[in-house]
Amino acid sequence: MDKFTTLSGVAAPLPMINVDTDMIIPKQFLKTIKRTGLGKHLFDEMRYTADGREIDGFVLNKPAYRQAKILVAGANFGCGSSREHAPWALLDFGIRCVIAPSFADIFYNNCFKNGILPIAVPQEQIELLLDDAARGANAVLTVDLQQQTITGPDGGLIRFEVDPFRKHCLLNGLDDIGLTLEQATAIDSFEAGRRLSQPWLTA
């Protein structure tokens, strides 16, 4: 998993509440177990017509937001089913940070496990960020995880909270496997001792 330290990029405004995981990545794209290739289907039913043409009015189809790295959204983002494909699709598109007033718990946890930083801030701060994001290509925000700050294009600063353990994992690029491998020496030592004391278990 890639480390998350400081992220600067265009922020796309999506001021919708209750954006569920089926809106993020519709069910017909859940057949794969690969984490790549899903970005083109992100928000598929809002981005494309039934015959596959782009819908001009959708934010990620607008030229200024095609390379967005940050999404500013409404409350209860990521509700619905627990599909991990939702953060996979966001990440494959290029979005590494979602800022909203609140998140569904499972989606929130899945973001951290896949290298995405979900930030919850009060609605009044979301309004300020949406205003910043409305500037198109000039809607550049800087998210500093170490300092726990969001800096707007005019230098305005918003502070956010994040669980210390999850912060540690993102800063160091540690998913569940990475956390386990950090204990590789201790695991090897335990296994070696068990082979000596209980050889019948490995016979």
Examine the domain organization and report whether 197 and 122 are in the same domain. no
| Average confidence (pLDDT) over 175-188 | 71
Q: Determine the structural domain holding residue 189 and report its residue range.
A: 174-203
Helix (H) or strand (E) holding 158: strand 157-159
Examine the domain organization and report whether 14 and 75 are in the same domain. yes
Q: Predicted confidence band at 183 (pLDDT cuts at 50, 70, 90)?
A: low
Examine the domain organization and report whether 113 and 156 are in the same domain. yes
| pLDDT given at position 102 | 98
Examine the domain organization and report whether 155 and 187 are in the same domain. no
| Average confidence (pLDDT) over 177-187 | 70
- CA distance readout (Å), 58 to 53, 55, 85: 12, 6, 21
Examine the domain organization and report whether 13 and 110 are in the same domain. yes
Examine the domain organization and report whether 203 and 184 are in the same domain. yes
Examine the domain organization and report whether 25 and 104 are in the same domain. yes
pLDDT for 153 beyond 70: yes
Structurally, the chain folds into a number of domains equal to 2
Examine the domain organization and report whether 119 and 192 are in the same domain. no
Whether 31 maps to a domain, the answer reads yes
Chain mean pLDDT for the chain: 92
Tell me the three state secondary structure of residue 6.
strand
pLDDT digits (tens, 9 = 90+) for 96-114: 999 999 999 999 999 999 9
Whether 25 maps to a domain, the answer reads yes
When comparing pLDDT for 84 and 176, which is higher?
Answer: 84
| pLDDT given at position 118 | 98
Q: Predicted confidence band at 203 (pLDDT cuts at 50, 70, 90)?
A: low
| pLDDT given at position 101 | 98
8 Å CB contact between 75 and 20: no
8 Å CB contact between 90 and 68: no
Strands 97-100 and 117-120, how do they pair? parallel
How far apart are the C-alpha atoms of 97 and 115, rounded to whole Å?
9
- What would the 3-class secondary structure string for 79-146 be? ECCCCCHHHHHHHHHCCCEEEECCECHHHHHHHHHCCCEEEECCHHHHHHHHHHHCCHHHCEEEEECC
Examine the domain organization and report whether 46 and 118 are in the same domain. yes
> Which of these ranges, 66-70, 131-135, 173-177, 188-192, has the smallest mean pLDDT?
188-192
- CA distance readout (Å), 25 to 32, 46, 72, 166: 12, 10, 17, 25
Examine the domain organization and report whether 164 and 71 are in the same domain. yes
Helix (H) or strand (E) holding 176: helix 176-181
How far apart are the C-alpha atoms of 141 and 130, rounded to whole Å?
11
pLDDT for 134 beyond 90: yes
Examine the domain organization and report whether 24 and 99 are in the same domain. yes
Examine the domain organization and report whether 163 and 196 are in the same domain. no
pLDDT digits (tens, 9 = 90+) for 42-98: 999 999 999 999 999 999 999 999 999 999 999 999 999 889 999 999 999 999 999
When comparing pLDDT for 64 and 197, which is higher?
Answer: 64
Whether the model pTM is above 0.75: yes
Whether 1 maps to a domain, the answer reads no
